[in-house]
């Protein structure tokens, strides 16, 4: 995974989350996951992906 200025591309983000690129695209279109638009590229901050994972953790008490 090549991190440029703290940003990774769509394929790397999908791999990081363990989901398909189409699922990641849907999350960004529904504004459930922040995305940085650089021209035609969708780029993601690792800290945003980690926050997304944390926000979906289920407490099994």
Q: Residue 53: which H helix or E strand, with range? A: helix 46-55
> Strand locations in 1-61, DSSP E?
7-9, 36-38, 41-45
Q: Residue 35: which H helix or E strand, with range? A: none
- Report angle CA 8, 57, 48 to the nearest 5 degrees: 25
5-54 pLDDT, tens digit each: 789 999 999 999 999 999 999 999 999 999 999 899 999 999 999 999 99
| pLDDT tier at 58, thresholds 50, 70, 90 | confident
pTM of the model: 0.83
């Amino acid at each position: 995974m090549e991190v440029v200025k703290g940003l990774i591309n769509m394929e790397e983000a999908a791999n990081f989350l363990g989901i398909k690129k189409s699922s990641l695209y849907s999350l960004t279109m529904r504004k459930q996951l922040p995305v940085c638009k650089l021209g035609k590229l969708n780029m993601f901050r690792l800290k945003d992906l980690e926050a997304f994972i944390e926000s979906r953790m289920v407490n099994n008490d």
